[in-house]
Amino acid sequence: MRFFRRSLTGLFILALTLGLLAMAGQTIRTAFEAKMAAGGPGAPARERVFSANVVTAVQTDFAPVLTAFGEIRSRRTLELRAPRAGTVIALGDGVEDGASVRAGQLLLRLDPADATAARDLAKSDMARAEAEQRDADRALLLARDDVAAAQAQAGLRAAALARQNDLEKRGVGSASAVETAALAASSADQAVLSRRSALAATEARLDQAKTALSRQAITLAEAERALRDTELFAGFDGVLSGISTVPGRILGSNERIGDLIDPTALEVSFRLSTAQFARLIDGTGQLIPTDVTAALEVSGADLVATGQLSRVGAAVGEGQTGRLVYATLASAPGFRPGDFVTARVAEPLLTAIVVLPASAFGADSTVLAVGEDNRLETLPAQLLRRQGDQVVLAATGLAGRDVVRELSPLLGAGIKIKPVRPNADADGQTKAAAQPPTTPEFIDLTPERRAALIAFVNANDRMPAEAKTRILAQLAEEKVPARVIERLESRMGG
């Protein structure tokens, strides 16, 4: 048994030694073949040609659209406040948050007991003031009659005194009679003064009565207004917002109840940069009444409203920049104040411009144009607008040129490219997809080109052996499929 076990161990070691020797031989053979392949003649150096999408710059006229984000506002918003303190005893029909009301509709009614009592007291005081004025009018009439009677009596006394003086001059009268007549005339004059004083007092009483009546009329008007203030009515057609009052609530004077918003008088406010604002004003600094579109973008049901620019904010505001612009919306069904919308403003028409993809415009304000022999050259371009994923450039020097559609770090001035044009160009020519293929199905190869392709296939270690054999057989033919050549050259970078 020991001999048999040792024999098996020896056979195993012998087999392992032979396997290692075979592996070493294969490694040496592979290295020798790689060295022999690398030492062969190299492929001739060829210029690398890149494929690039190009687009023709066509001169045209373009109306840019300025995009901003703004907020819907109402031009008619009324704060509803309690006109006086009191207890809410009733609300109008349908008065709730979000309800529509008509102009003059009752919104709420306060307890009118105190106001009614004050109005009744004012009416009573008014009646008393009217009675006092009527009494003063009658007293004035009597005082005037008294003055007239006193003046008449004073006239009689004066005539009697004149007669006694005449009798005394003729010697038929006595001095005592003249003296008595003079005393009587003096008393009559004193009585006239007394009646006139009473008349002045009566006139003053009438003036006071009129003043009191006027003041009482004001008091009564205030009491009636206070009674009317127990009811609140809608000032215009609109929608109620923020209504939370219920019957039984005690309101303070001027306490806010909610808002009344007119949904038909809406506007959108949005902020523009100073450069954007400068493009929307005329020579006098006034806003151009251009069209504005406000869009509330929601999934499946976008709301759109149209309007015009109306005014600009009077001040920039602390910590703000640019200008706050307002646009009046003609019709905005479905919009509500506070909506965050996208505002699109139509700018004035630009002439003699070209519109290119934004990827064609470099950070150094240049584009790559296709020149002679399909080599690229750098052209300066004046940027006028950025419009979404497009740029609007001045047409000077660009009109009619083929421009690289997407810039790449591999592309630059002097590099030769293989232009790839879109299916339909800007001139409206027939689509390339509709034309028969211009590339031949089989082409002839020059000896240099054939040798370069064969060397590339032989040096490619990652290509399967079967595929390599098949391609080499195709390259050995007189005419080679164009499809195969294009695929190989694209991998070569040619």
Kindly report, residue by residue over 368-408, the tens digit of the pLDDT: 999 888 899 999 999 988 888 899 999 888 888 999 999 88
Question: For the packed helices 465-476 and 447-459, what is the interaxial angle rounded to 10 degrees?
Answer: 170
Whole-number pLDDT of residue 423: 59
Closest C-alpha among 226, 246, 243 to residue 89: 246
Whole-number pLDDT of residue 429: 45
**Residues paired with residue 173 on neighbouring β-strands, in sequence order:** none
Q: Which residues contact 62 (CB under 8 A, 6 or more apart)?
A: 349, 350, 353, 355, 392
Asked if 268 and 318 touch (Cβ cutoff 8 Å), the reply is: no
Whole-number pLDDT of residue 425: 46
Average confidence score pLDDT of the chain: 84
- How far apart (Å, rounded) are the C-alpha atoms in residues 163 and 52? 143
Specify the amino acid at residue 204: A
Would the pLDDT of 96 be above 60?
yes
Domains and CATH numbers, the chain: 51-63+350-424 (2.40.420.20), 79-112+236-260 (2.40.50.100), 114-228 (1.10.287.620), 439-492 (no CATH)
- How far apart (Å, rounded) are the C-alpha atoms in residues 78 and 262? 9
The phi and psi torsions of 276 (rounded to 5 degrees) equal -65, -40
Ramachandran region, residue 448 (left: φ > 0; alpha: ψ -120 to 50; beta: rest): alpha
pLDDT digits (tens, 9 = 90+) for 288-341: 888 999 988 765 456 888 899 999 988 888 888 889 999 999 888 888 888 899
Query: Tokens representing 484?
Result: 């195969």
- pLDDT, average across residues 426-440: 42
Least confident of 85-94, 147-156, 225-234, 435-444: 435-444
- How far apart (Å, rounded) are the C-alpha atoms in residues 404 and 410? 12
pLDDT digits (tens, 9 = 90+) for 457-483: 888 776 766 667 767 877 887 777 777
Specify the amino acid at residue 8: L
Q: Which residues contact 202 (CB under 8 A, 6 or more apart)?
A: 136, 139, 140, 142, 143
pLDDT digits (tens, 9 = 90+) for 177-193: 878 888 888 888 888 88
Whole-number pLDDT of residue 17: 87
Query: Tokens representing 401?
Result: 């040129």
- How far apart (Å, rounded) are the C-alpha atoms in residues 171 and 205? 52
What pLDDT band is residue 9 in, cutting at 50, 70 and 90?
Answer: confident
Least confident of 114-123, 196-205, 278-287, 461-470: 461-470
Would the pLDDT of 92 be above 50?
yes
What pLDDT band is residue 1 in, cutting at 50, 70 and 90?
Answer: low
Q: Which residues contact 328 (CB under 8 A, 6 or more apart)?
A: 75, 267, 307, 308, 310
For strand 50-56 and strand 417-420, is the pairing parallel, antiparallel, or unpaired? Answer: parallel
What pLDDT band is residue 438 in, cutting at 50, 70 and 90?
Answer: very low
Asked if 380 and 394 touch (Cβ cutoff 8 Å), the reply is: no
What pLDDT band is residue 46 in, cutting at 50, 70 and 90?
Answer: confident
Asked if 231 and 109 touch (Cβ cutoff 8 Å), the reply is: yes
Sheet holding 366-370, edge to edge: 376-380, 366-370, 402-404, 50-56, 417-420
Closest C-alpha among 335, 339, 357 to residue 239: 335
Asked if 86 and 388 touch (Cβ cutoff 8 Å), the reply is: no
Q: Which residues contact 308 (CB under 8 A, 6 or more apart)?
A: 289, 290, 291, 292, 327, 328, 330
Q: Which residues contact 83 (CB under 8 A, 6 or more apart)?
A: 229, 232, 253, 254
Closest C-alpha among 268, 291, 326 to residue 64: 291
pLDDT digits (tens, 9 = 90+) for 117-144: 999 999 999 999 999 999 999 999 998 8
Whole-number pLDDT of residue 72: 92
Whole-number pLDDT of residue 493: 57
- How far apart (Å, rounded) are the C-alpha atoms in residues 414 and 431? 29
- pLDDT, average across residues 45-57: 84
- How far apart (Å, rounded) are the C-alpha atoms in residues 185 and 197? 19
- How far apart (Å, rounded) are the C-alpha atoms in residues 456 and 451? 9
- How far apart (Å, rounded) are the C-alpha atoms in residues 112 and 224? 11
- How far apart (Å, rounded) are the C-alpha atoms in residues 214 and 216? 5
- How far apart (Å, rounded) are the C-alpha atoms in residues 90 and 104? 16
DSSP character string of 173-240: S-HHHHHHHHHHHHHHHHHHHHHHHHHHHHHHHHHHHHHHHHHHHHHHHHHHHHHHTTEEE-SSSEEE
Residue 136: strand, helix, or coil:
helix
**Residues paired with residue 419 on neighbouring β-strands, in sequence order:** 52
**Residues paired with residue 101 on neighbouring β-strands, in sequence order:** 238
Q: Which residues contact 342 (CB under 8 A, 6 or more apart)?
A: 67, 68, 69, 294, 295, 296, 297
Residue 124: strand, helix, or coil:
helix
